[in-house]
Amino acid sequence: MSDTPTPLPENPAPDPWLGLRRYTAARIALGRTGTSVPLRELLAFRLAHAHARDAVYSLLETERLLGELEEFKLPIYHVRSQAENRSQYLQRPDLGRTLHEDSSRALQDSAPASSDVALVLADGLSATALNQHALPLLRLLVPRLQQASFQLAPLTVAEQARVALSDEIGVALHAQLVLILIGERPGLSSPDSLGAYFTYGPRPGLTDDARNCVSNIRPEGLSYPAAAEKLFLLIQESLRRQLSGVKLKDETGLLE
């Protein structure tokens, strides 16, 4: 047996997945060095992981957000869940689903008699997503809802919030339907993905089968115009049929 190493081919076959990288941010066609991925891909993975961790601990830019929301000429409430801080929020998901007593009392004391749609903006698992994408989306969605003569409840900004917190907010605001824009769980290629969940007939205790979701709202995912159009059509249909969740299918045909 010869001790001479086998030379590597001068022109190795191209990775058959390489052409697909233009269509997705998923980690495909990374190549390899021996039995490992190339150093540049390993470093890129570690950077993406750091971005995801940063997004989980990111803070809502509350003052800026509250100021910018004034352009919609709607009352604005600022509430928080029972989770006292980020650490408790991550360890106790149940506390993020229930309003703090002070916030609950404030909503009930000044809520309108009735409304069609309540809009909630929540940090969720990525305040970065809400900071970056909520206002551009609302600037397209709110006018559509108003032009359709839907009565909008006051806007609500919620901190340390889970999706189900919107049910309690919807009840307090006497809303037929509640829509919450919330930062989604960060992925290794999407630390700033915004999700939109809406529920007809909100009330505490509902499970996810009662909701509809439009996810990955961001320039690299579902564009603002496409998301606003899809949400408007789904909300319109939800109010017309008086239901949401698994009984309401997305028949808009809209992709991006």
Q: Which CATH number goes with the domain that contains 220?
A: 3.40.50.11240
Q: Which residues are annotated as a binding site?
A: 163, 184, 213
List residues bridging with 157 in a β-sheet.
78, 121
List residues bridging with 76 in a β-sheet.
155
Q: Which residues are annotated as a binding site for adenosylcob(III)alamin?
A: 163, 184, 213
Is 213 domain-assigned? yes
Is 144 domain-assigned? yes
Backbone CA torsion sign across 142, 147, 148, 151: positive
The number of distinct structural domains making up the chain is 1
Residue 26's pLDDT is 75
Residue 6's pLDDT is 57
Cα–Cα distance for residue pair 54/131, rounded to 1 Å? 14
| Paired sense of beta strands 155-159 and 194-200, if any | unpaired
Residue 229's pLDDT is 96
Q: Can you spell out the DSSP letters for 25-87?
A: -SS-----BTTB--HHHHHHHHHHHHHHHHHHT----HHHHHHHHGGG-S-EEEEEBS--SHH
Residue 31's pLDDT is 77
Q: Hey, is 98 helix, strand or coil?
A: coil
Q: How far are the Cα atoms of 11, 51, 99, 188, 216 from residue 46, in angstroms, in the given order? A: 30, 9, 36, 9, 22
CB 199 within 8 A of CB 168: no
Is 3 domain-assigned? no
Q: Give percent of the chain with pLDDT exceeding 90.
A: 68
What confidence tens digit (pLDDT) does each residue in 117-140 have?
Answer: 999 999 999 999 999 999 999 999
The residue with tokens 């995912």 is: 221
Cα–Cα distance for residue pair 179/247, rounded to 1 Å? 17
Is 25 domain-assigned? no
Is 8 domain-assigned? no
Question: What is the CA 202 to chain-centroid distance, rounded?
Answer: 19
Residue 50's pLDDT is 81
Cα–Cα distance for residue pair 83/95, rounded to 1 Å? 5
Is 179 domain-assigned? yes
Give the pair of three-digit tokens for residue 126: 């990525």
Boundaries of domain holding 243:
62-247
Is 39 domain-assigned? no
Is 151 domain-assigned? yes
Residue 181's pLDDT is 98
- Closest by CA to 200, choosing from 234, 230, 153, is 234
Low-confidence stretches of the chain (pLDDT beneath 50): 9, 256
